[in-house]
């Protein structure tokens, strides 16, 4: 277990080094700029490293970790391997919150107020999914319905107004880490840390949900109350990431599955492992997205899917063989 | 002591049975039998407080079940469900530990040995057969120290040897004063080791 964690942490560090070195522009003397932050502070190199590349690396790590954590909690809370914030409607709800905030001219993408709107939207959509779904089996299909409903409203709002910020929203709805600013990071970082701490704390309760609601109630615990805590965490995590960099699909589904196959099903380890794997995939994905075809930037969602999908498919196939 | 008074159960607006009266004494084994769909498992769910009666009442130790909190109910009974599927890669030991007290966790080795699960403790539950998962569910139920135990079709996927071992475990629980209620699919003649047979839907 320690070895596996060490390997992932080493991989994350290697990915950080690669992300520092790679980009549309080559930064000469990069280590000097890095280790003496005051060095040549007026130069383009300094600007690229400290104003663009490093904030973006931090954003990839934080948002990847947030989505990995949200996905792990979503699957445990729903007791369903298909549950993820996109399928439960959480992401679409967060998007609607941001779009409404921007169209009403009360907030800009990535601002604290937009995050608050996103939180409300995310929690509303998730709550609707779980209220409408009477059984655990209906959860996924109802979630897809809620998600489609909220996404359709987002699409209609975007196409039916002449608001000048609409272009930024259209771009944002595809997802891009280029949108993250250092100010955003100051919102995302504390939210992620608080959510991770709470998630680790309620992990044993999330474990119980694997027994199904009836058995959880028989143990004298309330499955609904456990799920409510989980939803608030998922809502917060998805809201901060969607409201700053848009919807990044697939990561929240893949990271926990990969983490589970490597580290097992207990939530206390899973929350940390899934965060690390989410951070790793998004950081590698974003580095490829911005450096593969300079000066063009590839859509991050495509790269995370290209990276995560083969790993997921291979691991699940291997696990399935072991099960026989 | 469990008392069932004029109990009528409905599911999806269909009446399963009506006016059932029964009593399960302390330190006894009661078997619920009857054809498919007659409400055996529903009766067990009602006794466990999961299914609200359409009419009638259930008393446990003279207290109306409906007046007891979830926590109070949880201290009264432990229940093995009939069907259970796991998708999470947890080991058998991890599943048995879920929601258990430290004292119960200390008893895992013994219960696993009683149910022939010792060799499987470190295996993933996702790799087990239906019969093995059922024994894990029964082990999980037995680990909890309660005055009342409910088992929904505990023999359904068990071979003869396992079935015999289970009956011995049930008898031992009865000797220690526990009240057991089981849903079974056996012929009434094969249930001589039970103290009473409650026939539904005949």
CATH number at residue A151: 1.10.3470.10
The owner of tokens 């769910």 is: B45
Closest approach of A265 to chain B, Cα-based (Å) = 5
- Structural domain including B153 reads 2-199
**Domains in chain A, number:** 1
Nearest to B79 among A218, A260, A323 (CB): A218
Q: What is the pLDDT of residues A226-267, one digit of tens each?
A: 998 998 999 999 999 988 888 887 899 999 999 998 898 899
b/e sequence A161-192, b meaning 16+ C-beta within 10 Å: eebeebeebeebbebbbbbbbeebbebbbebb
Is the CB of A219 less than 8 angstroms away from the CB of B99?
yes
Binned at pLDDT 50, 70 and 90, residue A324 comes out as very low
State which H helix or E strand residue B170 sits in. helix B160-175
Whether the bond between A295 and the residue before it is cis, its omega within 30 degrees of 0, is yes
- Look at residues B88, B73, B196 and name the one whose alpha carbon lies nearest to residue A264: B88
CATH label of the domain that carries residue B191: 3.40.50.300
Which chain A residues are within 8 Å of B139, Cβ to Cβ?
none
Does B84 have pLDDT greater than 50?
yes
Question: Residue B90: which of A217, A221, A265 has the nearest Cβ?
Answer: A265
Q: pLDDT band for position A80 (50/70/90)?
A: confident
The reply to whether residue A208 touches residue B90, judged by beta carbons under 8 angstroms, is: no
Mean pLDDT of A138-142: 88
**Residue contact A215–B81, C-beta within 8 A:** yes
Give B84's contacts in chain A (Cβ within 8 Å).
Answer: 211-212
pLDDT, tens digit, 9 for 90 and up, residues B183-196: 998 777 788 999 99
Parent domain of A260: 2-323
Tally C-beta pairs within 8 A across A and B: 65
Q: Is A319 on the interface with B (CB under 8 A)?
A: yes
Helices (H), chain A: 2-21, 30-35, 44-47, 54-78, 90-103, 112-132, 139-159, 166-172, 182-208, 213-218, 223-245, 251-263, 267-291, 300-323
Percent of chain A with pLDDT over 90: 48
Q: The whole model's pTM is what?
A: 0.90
The pLDDT of A149-178, averaged and rounded, is 79
Segment A148-170 shows an average pLDDT of 81
Residues in chain B with CB shorter than 8 Å from the CB of A212 are 81, 84
Partner-chain contact B98 A322, CB within 8 Å = no
Q: Which residue of B has its CA nearest to A213?
A: B50
Chain B residues whose C-beta sits inside 8 Å of any chain A C-beta: 45, 48, 50, 70-71, 73-75, 77-79, 81, 84, 86-91, 94-95, 98-99, 124, 126-127, 140
Q: For A96-105, how does the pLDDT look when each residue is reduced to its tens digit (9 = 90+)?
A: 998 899 888 8
Query: What's the domain count of chain B?
Result: 1
Confidence of residue B119 (pLDDT cuts 50, 70, 90): very high
Reply yes or no on whether the pLDDT at A94 is more than 80: yes
Searching chain B, which residue's CA lies closest to the CA of residue A208? B98
- Residues of B within 8 A of A207 (CB-CB) are 90, 98
pLDDT at position A170:
66
């Amino acid at each position: 277990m320690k070895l596996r964690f060490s390997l992932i942490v080493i991989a994350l560090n290697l990915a950080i080094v690669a992300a520092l070195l790679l980009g549309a522009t080559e930064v000469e003397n990069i280590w000097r700029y890095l280790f003496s932050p005051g060095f040549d502070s007026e130069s383009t190199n300094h600007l690229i490293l400290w104003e663009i590349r490093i904030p973006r690396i931090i954003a990839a790590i934080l948002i990847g970790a947030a989505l990995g954590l949200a996905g792990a909690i979503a699957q445990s809370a729903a007791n369903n391997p298909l549950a993820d914030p996109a399928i439960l409607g959480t992401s679409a709800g967060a998007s609607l919150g941001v779009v409404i905030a921007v169209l009403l001219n009360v907030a800009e993408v990535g601002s604290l107020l937009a995050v608050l709107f996103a939180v409300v939207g995310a929690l509303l959509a998730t709550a609707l999914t779980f209220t409408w779904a009477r059984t655990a089996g209906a959860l996924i299909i109802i979630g897809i319905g809620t998600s489609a409903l909220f996404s359709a409203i987002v699409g209609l709002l975007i196409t039916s107004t002449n608001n000048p910020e609409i272009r930024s929203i259209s771009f944002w709805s595809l997802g891009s880490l280029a949108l993250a600013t250092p100010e955003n990071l100051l919102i995302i970082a504390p939210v992620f840390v608080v959510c991770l701490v709470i998630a680790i704390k309620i992990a044993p309760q999330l474990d119980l949900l694997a027994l199904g609601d009836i058995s959880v109630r028989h143990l004298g615990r309330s499955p609904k109350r456990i799920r409510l805590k989980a939803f608030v965490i998922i809502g917060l995590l998805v809201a901060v990431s969607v409201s700053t960099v848009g919807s990044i699909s697939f990561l929240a589904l893949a990271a926990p599955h990969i983490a589970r196959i490597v580290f097992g099903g207990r939530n206390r380890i899973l929350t940390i492992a899934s965060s690390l794997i989410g951070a790793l995939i998004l950081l590698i994905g974003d580095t490829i997205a911005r450096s593969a075809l300079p000066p063009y930037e590839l859509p991050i969602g495509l790269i995370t899917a290209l990276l995560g999908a083969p790993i997921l498919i291979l691991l699940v196939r291997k696990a399935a063989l072991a099960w026989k | 002591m469990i008392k069932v008074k004029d109990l009528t159960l409905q599911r999806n607006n269909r009446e399963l049975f009506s006016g059932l009266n029964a009593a399960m004494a302390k330190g006894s084994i009661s078997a619920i039998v009857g054809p498919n769909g007659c409400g055996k498992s529903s009766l067990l769910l009602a006794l466990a407080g999961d299914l609200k009666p359409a009419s009638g009442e259930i008393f446990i130790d003279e207290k109306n079940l409906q007046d007891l909190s979830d926590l109070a109910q949880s201290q009264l009974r432990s229940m093995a469900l009939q069907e259970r599927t796991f998708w999470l890669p947890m080991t058998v030991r991890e599943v048995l530990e879920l929601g258990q007290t430290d004292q119960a966790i200390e008893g895992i080795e013994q219960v696993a040995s009683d149910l022939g699960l010792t060799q499987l403790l470190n295996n993933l539950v996702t790799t087990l057969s239906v019969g093995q998962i059922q024994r894990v569910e029964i082990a999980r139920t037995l680990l909890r120290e309660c005055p009342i135990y409910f088992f929904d079709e505990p023999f359904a996927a068990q071979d003869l040897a396992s079935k015999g071992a289970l009956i011995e475990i049930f008898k031992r629980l009865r000797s220690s004063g526990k009240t057991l209620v089981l849903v079974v699919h056996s012929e009434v003649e094969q249930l001589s080791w039970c103290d009473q047979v409650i026939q539904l839907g005949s």
